[in-house]
Structure 1
Amino acid sequence: MTDNIFHRIIEMPPPFNMIVIIMMIIFGTGLVTSVVKQIRKYACYRQEVEFKRDLLDRGMTVEEVERVVSAQPKDSSRA
């Protein structure tokens, strides 16, 4: 199936096949970037949850955990 699609794109007239290939590369890059960004956000979320659980396991109260977490600088460039 994929081989058939690739051959159809290659058999298109020269200016059009390059446009289709470039668009496929742009779409694929955007898709991969979006997936990686969502995975990174989830990993950061899981890390914060584990940190909070660790603080609670050490015997800190909920108020102390909230104070410690809110004291951490939020890096807006990573959001």
Structure 2
Amino acid sequence: MSYIQEFVNLLPIPFNFVLLLLLIVFGTGIITSTMKQIRKFACHRQELDFKREMIDRGMSVEEVERLVQASSEQGGNGVF
């Protein structure tokens, strides 16, 4: 970490500010993308668990599909 700090300190004034600003912007983008993918994975797992639970309760596959389709038409993951 000290190597990066020394490199930034050796740059002329406007360039080190631009470099730090770019690092913040790209770092935020990477973190946001990672969190979005984790959220998508968690929602997918939750949906699969919900479907598995409905089947375990004795619902037929057609009933599960109909329920999932109806909930997706209502505007998203209201059931999940």
TM-score (norm 2): 0.87
Matched residue, 1:14: 13
User: 1:58 maps to which residue?
Assistant: 57
Trace 1:38-49 onto structure 2 (pairs within 5 A). Answer: 38-49=37-48
Residues 33-65 of structure 1: CA distance to partner in whole angstroms, max 9, x if unpaired?
000000000000000000000000000010000
Unaligned runs of 5+ in 2: none
User: Identity rate of aligned residues, in percent?
Assistant: 50
Q: What CA distance in whole angstroms lies between the structure 1 residues aligned with 2:23 and 2:52?
A: 44
| TM-score after normalising by structure 1 | 0.88
SS of 2:15's equivalent in the other structure is helix
Give the length in aligned residue pairs: 74
